[in-house]
Amino acid sequence: MRAAEAALMAGLPEGALMQRAAAGLAGACAGLLGRVYGARVVLLVGGGANGGDALYAGARLARRGAGVSAVPLGARIHQGGLDALVRAGGRVADDPFAVLARADLVLDGITGIGGRGGLRPDAVPVVRASRASGAVVVAVDLPSGVDADTGAVDGEAVRADATVTFGAYKPGLLVDPAREYAGAVRLVDIGLGDLLPTPELEALQHADVARLLPVPAAESDKYRRGVVGVVAGSARYPGAAVLAVAGALRGGAGAVRYVGPAGDAVLARYPETLVHPGPPGRAGRVQAWVIGPGLADTPGVEDVLASDVPVLVDADGLRPLDPAAVRARPAPTVLTPHAGEAAALLGTAREDVEARRLEAVRELAGRYGATVLLKGSTTLVADPDPDVPVRVNPTGTPWLATAGSGDVLSGLTGSLLAAGLAPRDAASTAAYLHGLAARRAARGAPLTAHEVAEALPGAWRDAAGAPRAGLDGGPAGTEGGAGRRPPGS
Ligand SMILES: NC(=O)C1=CN([C@@H]2O[C@H](COP(=O)(O)OP(=O)(O)OC[C@H]3O[C@@H](n4cnc5c(N)ncnc54)[C@H](O)[C@@H]3O)[C@@H](O)[C@H]2O)[C@@H](O)CC1
Ligand SMILES: [K+]
């Protein structure tokens, strides 16, 4: 951000960028207020440019008739911004707590990307009073107190209803725990365009997913579409096998081969599955393996890792996992741990992983030379190459924290791998569809893993932009037969 801003500012009059930021910010506040004239606005102003943004935005709101008071929290605050505020009729608050108690909107301009080490003690009571007032809290660029680069939160931070961010999303706005503090995030374009470097994080959107989803070509048969092998379930956990197969059947592979002791349970629910008692090495050819959900102590991990096709390892399969064995594989490996499993692999505590999700997922990917999908409140997908951006899933929902939903995700991801998607695309596309399916199925109420699986085709159609009139079920050849191929497949 700093490099891009410096490059852009070199060709612009002094202060122009801050004015762009302030204009976008004031516009967003006006939208949230509905009526600016007569509204009571309080600015929390730190010592840097973040406070400057708040002051200039406050000046714009004051010119439109809002009553604007500034609460200075730095030893020195942005002089130009303060002058502008005063010229527009705003003022410095005599009693911060009195103005906060009556505020309609509080602008948090304490710190932005320059903030270090959480909120300082003098800011804490003011931030608490903002929250207690019932005013709409709008964070400038980032909620103060969160770490812009990692999403970590040390101690207290501003809990915003909305965040207006400038130029580009920062990791702290996308990765939990910080993401939760940001509320609804709005991006204001300040003209950085091509000056922005390769991002650290990226989030797929509907259009990206539509491009990545496998579409069978006219000449496809089930083998060309890919066969996914699922090694899951045990006498103790037959349900995990059924759920992993449920996900795999909706992921675009042409066939699902189930290998393990839960074949009867699988067939009872999904007669279209090919079942084999195992071991995996004898079960026949597949284009990708999924191993782990509900496996308990059933062996098979070494067998599957020895294969020359992509392998996804989840749940119980992750327990005995040796980094050297994974690194030595000739084909890609995808690991899908939740925070507890990731902590066990890293030899650290679960809370450490939850507090530093971005670091943890990168470290695991590096250590195993694998694509790692770290499940949780914000699912992250890291590539083994550290220069490739980590993907953050934008469709997650807390309703997904339900037993068995991870098994569905494993099957779905494996199926996309078998259909030919590159590991990072398969994992992030699966997470996207899985989250979307859960949202569609939940509609505000608890849901089961099976309902997530059953909602996957609807999520797929939604992301793919269906109904594609005249294509599905339309006259043969209307699609040109080639289908859309994912990049890199
Ligand atoms: N550079 C630019 O061209 C632009 C910057 N913009 C704004 O400028 C911000 C960055 O400005 P700065 O680099 O001045 O940094 P910030 O304003 O984010 O924070 C730095 C200031 O806060 C103090 N500080 C650091 N940690 C603190 C803490 N924990 N508690 C309290 N005070 C703390 C520092 O001593 C310094 O005074 C962005 O987040 C954005 O809001 C925008 O105006 C757009 C243009
Ligand atoms: K802020």
pLDDT digits 0-9 by tens, 367-415: 999 999 999 989 999 999 999 999 999 998 888 989 999 999 999 999 9
* Res. 236: pLDDT tops 50: yes
Same domain, residue pair 177 and 295? no
Tokens 């002791």 -> residue: 261
- Output the pTM of the full model: 0.87
- For residue 233, give both structure tokens: 């379930």
Question: What is the average pLDDT value for the chain, to the nearest integer?
Answer: 92
CA distance 67 to 77: 20
In this prediction, residue 471 has a pLDDT band, given cuts at 50, 70 and 90, of: very low
CA distance 59 to 384: 48
How many angstroms does the Cα of residue 166 sit away from the middle of ligand 1?
12
Same domain, residue pair 91 and 52? yes
Q: Specify the 3-state DSSP secondary structure of 192.
A: coil
Q: Which atom of ligand 1 is nearest to the CA of 5?
A: 3
Name the pairing type of β-strands 380-382 and 390-392.
antiparallel
Q: What is the pLDDT of residues 314-370, one digit of tens each?
A: 999 998 799 999 999 999 999 999 999 999 999 999 999 999 999 999 999 999 999
398: DSSP letter: G
Say if CB 397 and CB 438 are below 8 A apart: yes
In a domain, 61, yes or no: yes
Owning domain of residue 399:
206-464
Name which of 439, 375, 437 is nearest 406 in CA terms.
375
Q: Which atom of ligand 1 is nearest to the CA of 142?
A: 39
Number of domains in the chain: 2
In a domain, 483, yes or no: no
Same domain, residue pair 135 and 244? no
In this prediction, residue 454 has a pLDDT band, given cuts at 50, 70 and 90, of: very high
Tokens 């609804």 -> residue: 184
* Res. 472: pLDDT tops 80: no
Q: What is the pLDDT of residues 257-275, one digit of tens each?
A: 999 999 999 999 999 999 9
Say if CB 188 and CB 21 are below 8 A apart: yes
| CA 188, chain centre distance (Å) | 20
Q: What percent of the chain has pLDDT over 70?
A: 95
Q: Specify the 3-state DSSP secondary structure of 138.
A: strand
Residue numbering of the annotated binding site for AMP: 375-379, 406
* Res. 486: pLDDT tops 50: no
Q: Supply the residue whose CA is at minimum distance from atom 9 of ligand 1.
A: 50
Closest ligand to Cα 109: 2
Q: Supply the residue whose CA is at minimum distance from atom 42 of ligand 1.
A: 18
Q: How wide is the angle at C-alpha 478 spanned by C-alphas 473 and 482, nearest 5°? A: 105
How many angstroms does the Cα of residue 82 sit away from the middle of ligand 2?
17
In this prediction, residue 71 has a pLDDT band, given cuts at 50, 70 and 90, of: very high
pLDDT of residue 406: 97
User: DSSP of 334-357, one letter per residue?
Assistant: EE---HHHHHHHHTS-HHHHHHTH
Same domain, residue pair 232 and 95? no
In a domain, 154, yes or no: yes
Q: Can you give the length of the chain in residues?
A: 489
Q: Supply the residue whose CA is at minimum distance from atom 39 of ligand 1.
A: 112
**Residue 120 CB-density burial (10 A; 0-12 exposed, 13-18 middle, 19+ buried):** middle
pLDDT of residue 84: 98
* Res. 487: pLDDT tops 70: no
pLDDT of residue 256: 98
Q: Supply the residue whose CA is at minimum distance from atom 43 of ligand 1.
A: 18
* Strands lying side by side in the sheet with 40-45: 91-92, 67-72, 40-45, 105-109, 136-140, 162-166, 184-188
Q: Which atom of ligand 1 is nearest to the CA of 76?
A: 37
- For residue 75, give both structure tokens: 């030893």
Closest ligand to Cα 46: 1
Same domain, residue pair 134 and 76? yes
Q: Supply the residue whose CA is at minimum distance from atom 40 of ligand 1.
A: 50
Same domain, residue pair 228 and 89? no
* Res. 483: pLDDT tops 50: no
Which of 9, 50, 116, 165 for a ligand 1 pocket mutation test, highest count of atoms within 8 Å of Cβ? 50
Same domain, residue pair 295 and 247? yes
Last residue of a domain, one of 180, 197, 214: 197
User: Which whole number is the average pLDDT over 210-232?
Assistant: 89
Which of 12, 43, 110, 111 for a ligand 1 pocket mutation test, highest count of atoms within 8 Å of Cβ? 111
User: Which whole number is the average pLDDT over 53-78?
Assistant: 97
Name which of 407, 370, 383, 482 is nearest 251 in CA terms.
407
Same domain, residue pair 190 and 252? no
**Angle separating helix axes 405-418 and 449-464, nearest 10 degrees:** 40
Residues with CB under 6 A from ligand 1: 5, 9, 17-18, 21, 46-51, 53, 74, 110-120, 140-141, 166, 190
pLDDT of residue 224: 81
In a domain, 480, yes or no: no
Say if CB 214 and CB 192 are below 8 A apart: no
Closest ligand to Cα 145: 1
Helix (H) or strand (E) holding 27: helix 16-33
Same domain, residue pair 166 and 284? no
CA distance 380 to 389: 10
* Residue 156's CATH number: 3.40.50.10260
In a domain, 486, yes or no: no
Same domain, residue pair 340 and 395? yes
pLDDT of residue 297: 77
Say if CB 484 and CB 277 are below 8 A apart: no
* Residue 334's CATH number: 3.40.1190.20
In a domain, 391, yes or no: yes
CA distance 362 to 358: 6
Q: Where are the alpha helices (DSSP H) in 64-201?
A: 79-87, 96-101, 124-132, 171-174, 178-182
Last residue of a domain, one of 149, 171, 197: 197
In a domain, 482, yes or no: no
Last residue of a domain, one of 143, 165, 197: 197
Distance from first CA to last CA of the chain, Å, rounded? Answer: 33
Q: What is the pLDDT of residues 422-448, one digit of tens each?
A: 999 999 999 999 999 999 999 888 999
Q: What is the pLDDT of residues 16-42, one digit of tens each?
A: 999 999 999 999 999 999 999 999 999
Same domain, residue pair 147 and 261? no
Q: What is the pLDDT of residues 74-108, one digit of tens each?
A: 889 999 999 999 999 999 999 999 999 999 999 99
- For residue 307, give both structure tokens: 């294969």
In this prediction, residue 466 has a pLDDT band, given cuts at 50, 70 and 90, of: low
CA distance 426 to 356: 24
Say if CB 401 and CB 178 are below 8 A apart: no
Tokens 């080490």 -> residue: 117
Name which of 336, 393, 399, 390 is nearest 368 in CA terms.
336
Say if CB 261 and CB 235 are below 8 A apart: yes
User: Which whole number is the average pLDDT over 286-311?
Assistant: 92
Same domain, residue pair 335 and 365? yes
In a domain, 411, yes or no: yes
Q: What is the pLDDT of residues 170-214, one digit of tens each?
A: 999 999 999 999 999 999 999 998 999 989 999 999 999 999 999
